[in-house]
Structure 1
Amino acid sequence: MGYLRNLLNAATGQKPQASTTYDLSNMSTEQIREFLRIGGGGMETASGAHVSESSAMRVAAAWRSVNIISGVMGSLPIDLIRREAEDRRVPAVNHPLRRVLTVKPNQWQTPNEFRRMMQAHLLLRGNAYALKVMAADRVLALIPLHPDRVGVEQLDDYSIEYKVSLKGGQYLRLQQKDVFHLRGMSLDGIKGLSVLSHMRESLGIALQAERTSARLMQNGQFVGGVLSHPGKLSAEAHSRLKASIDEKHAGADNAGKNLLLEEGMAFAPVSMTATDMQFLQQRDFQRYDIAMFFGVPPHMLGATEKTTSWGSGIEQQGIGFVTYTLNDWIKIWEEACKRDLIPEREWDTHDVRMFTQGLMRGDARARWEAHVKGLQWGVISPDEVRALEDMNPRPDGLGGVYYDPPNTAGGEPEGDGDEPKETSSAPGV
């Protein structure tokens, strides 16, 4: 192993690091690619940057996009629902899968941690896998598998086989019934497309821009002007000026310091050049480009230059985020859970549901306005509202009453009847 490492260091011109050790037998494909730095799997970009999972997450816009979507998918309320009749649905209490989904997916992760990690794999790799721990046809636990260690193949009978690379170098072949598979957009229906590989050029430009900025901060001079001399600068003055600039005015820590000039030299400040402006615009464009790949509104990444930063514009973008981005991921989770985790004999009576009402937890005004509308129209009862707010039923026992809609109670409806008449106070909760 030491010989291989020294050979790679010699080929790349890097100095050997005696304190670092590597175990290729326990590395995933992604880790080996990062170690070799050869951009395997088409991950070397035209900009010269090598894009990997770890380097991609060093781009602020990519990190924030993955963190936002994964965080929302991890925190949304989820439950296993049993249909007792076409119009009656109740939580499937005491079902073993409900405990896996809502309490303990495995020995070391919470449901939030498990779903966040699986969603991050799904966003970056297009696939997320977990090994099912079974007792008969019941799922008792879900063991996550890194997508770089899993190969997918469709057999002649159209079943799917998974080949998992273990840490010791061995391979484990799993049947479709043994794996929980979340699949993103796919062109073959077998394996999801890797977002990371398709957006590698955008990420490569962003990584190179970050590197350029870092080099500028390290080596650039921030005098912001031009020096002029009325005649010819003497060799001694030139040497002193050069030493002063290199030692006292280079780098970010010395930005803004004044120069000490001699022999009648003059300093003329200059504004930002067109090249500087183009560089900044390029970095700003990359945020919008990366946000487009993930379907995240730019304002969530701090990009508000091309849109209003408050009011109904932001509100509509937030609604669009739920409608066009989150709903897609929610459907993928719900349908994959039903296909892979619920026994086929229970498909007609059980469903996994994720509830977007949880997204309103931070907006108390909108949440309570929705409650009041539901109470006024007799859709929900006070006790049901209290349950949604994690409160106990009314102590007087009257919380199960469904109120008559205001435009039908005690007379003819006023107006066109499309909206309930506003009342001075909401029904008692």
Structure 2
Amino acid sequence: MGFLSQFFGFDGKSPQVISTSADLLRSFDRERTAGEAVNDRTAIQTSAVLCCARVIAEGLAQVPCKVFKEDIYGSPTEARDHALYYLLNRRPNDWQTSFEFREQIGIHLALKNNAYIFKNKVNGKVVELYAFDPSVVTVEQNDTFDLTYKVTLDGKGPKSIPADDIWHIKGPSWNGFQGLDAVQMACKTIGLAQATERFGSKLFENGARPGGLLTTRTGAQALTPEQRNEIKTLWAAQHQGTENAHKTVMLPFDLEFTPVSGTANEAQWIENRKFLIEEICRFFRVLPIMVMQSGATSYASVEQMFLAHLTHTLMPWYERFEQSAEVSLLTRQELLDGYSIKLNANALLRASHEDRASYYQTMKTIGAMTANEIRAKEDMPRSTDPEADKLTGAANIFGGSNQTPNQAPSPQPDDNEVAK
């Protein structure tokens, strides 16, 4: 943190974020939809939004992130001696694990479609990675198409940071250098969801009863202002709220009650909430079943469900993460030397024990995998048996492990020739 402290002029590892007045106004009340203020802080109070963000963030964080290098045969092997291996796989900075770091990045990407990571360098080598709050970072592109990142932290700034010192992961983008704000794009749907939840809370707060009018009967004496205030206070105290539901209504002063609003069923409150969950899922490209939406599309097996989730939701984010990490964290020479950064999604695709055993048996039988490759897939230690690194020939195709394709068996002498 020494470099950041000198550069930005703040102390501590959790700096207070202070934006400009325009940014604050945009953050607290970017757009009012259905009477609701929609911004990052209010959006995550909607269960479907928070669940979609967690599905993306945890999917990005729960798989191993490793640095690989191609060996002489072109096969990727773990480059544990590379400085980035420890940063990406275990500890990117002083206060976060790799899981926590990538989870934070995933939440930023899900809600803002932008993640800004500062690369703290020593002698040109990246030694620490810090994820900035996207709300304090702005991106500017000059006439030569070079990018500059301006960061405002703890009231210090904005400070300009060269693009080479920022690892910027972008979601879908309109201008090519900054992702589209996901919450802003979905603000109308999120605002409607917030209004629907507020309607439900008010419904039960008032005893799950419809609103109505208290009126004097025909010919009754008009009420004084003091009497009207007294009736309003008594009504709220005795009949408002779920704890007073189903109590007997006593109407003084020749009053009568006339309902004027519909019920929850008439407003299709429950159906509307279900629809809005699916609508929010569409914006975040998350399968409704992954946010615990009952009645969502079913799949033939759990494997197929996770395969669809991986293919349509996580893999695009994995590819964005991997490609941006490689071009931002690795040098051109390292890329030419065969270095790469990968997220291993194999753990998400593991089937049942029986299905995995059948798959591995088939792959070994046809000579596609060795025993040690199978053990590696199952996170088991390598076998020291030399045979564990040899491919088994497909007996049903080539006639056994000692036969090669298109090799005819050697002719054998018959018994008569042997006798002679």
TM-score if structure 1 supplies the norm length? 0.75
Distance 1:85 1:36 in 2: 52
Give the structure 1 partner of residue 339 of structure 2: 350
**Where does the alignment leave 5 or more consecutive residues of structure 2 unmatched?**
1-15, 222-227, 252-261, 401-420
**Residues 162-186 of structure 1: per-residue CA shift (max 9 Å, x gap):** 1111213322211111111101111
Amino acid at match of 2:207: Q
Counterpart residue number, 1:33: 24
Deviation for aligned residue 1:137:
3.4
Q: Deviating runs (4+, > 6 A) in structure 1?
A: 241-245
2:394 to 405, 422, 425: 405
Partner Cα distance (1:365, 1:198) in 2: 45
**TM-score (norm. length: structure 2):** 0.77
* Counterparts in 2 of 1:147 and 1:261: CA distance versus 1, 3 Å: closer
Quickly say closer, same or farther: Cα 1:132–1:363, change in 2 above 3 A.
Answer: farther
Deviations, residues 180-205 of structure 1 (Å, cap 9, x unaligned):
11011111111111111100111111
Q: Does 1:370 align with 2:359?
A: yes
2:123 is the counterpart of 1:132: no
What pairs with 1:17-416 in structure 2 (closer than 5 Å)? 26-28=17-19, 33=24, 37=28, 39=29, 43-85=30-72, 87-218=74-205, 220-222=206-208, 246-255=236-245, 257=246, 259=248, 273=263, 276-305=266-295, 307-308=296-297, 310-312=298-300, 316-348=304-336, 349-361=338-350, 363-394=352-383, 398-405=387-394, 407-410=396-399
Q: Deviations over 1:369-411 (max 9, x none)?
A: 4333322322222222222222223465643342233532538
Task: Say which one has the larger Rg.
Answer: 2
Deviations 1:214-240 (A, max 9, x none): 11121x23469x9xxxx99x99xxx9x
Match of 2:11 in 1: none
The 1-side partners of 2:300 and 2:394 are apart by 29
CA RMSD for the aligned pairs?
Answer: 3.9
Secondary structure (helix, strand or coil) at the match of 1:321 reads helix
Secondary structure of the residue aligned to 2:156 is: coil
Cα contact 2:239–2:249 (8 A) shared by 1: no
- The structural deviation recorded for 1:135 is 2.6
Residues 86, 385 of structure 1: CA spacing in aligned structure 2 closer, same or farther, 3 A cutoff? Answer: closer
Identity %: 26
Measured at CA, do residues 398 and 179 of structure 1 come closer, stay the same or move farther in structure 2, by a change above 3 Å? same
- Counterpart CA distance in 1 for 2:243 and 2:95 is 45
- Counterparts of 2:357 and 2:20, CA distance in 1: 50
Q: CA deviation at 1:244?
A: 8.7
Tell me the SS of whatever aligns to 2:59. helix
Structure 1 CA distance, aligned partners of 2:74 and 2:384?
28
Q: 1:187 to 1:242 in 2, by over 3 A?
A: closer
Q: Give the AA of the match of 1:142.
A: L
Out of 378-387 and 143-152, give the one that drifted further.
Answer: 378-387
CA deviation after TM superposition for structure 1 residue 274, in Å: 7.5
How far does residue 147 in structure 1 lie from its aligned partner after superposition? 1.0
- Match of 1:101, SS? helix
SS in 2 for 1:90: strand
Give SS of 2:155's match: coil
Give unpaired runs (5+ residues) of structure 1.
1-24, 263-271, 412-429
Count of aligned positions = 374
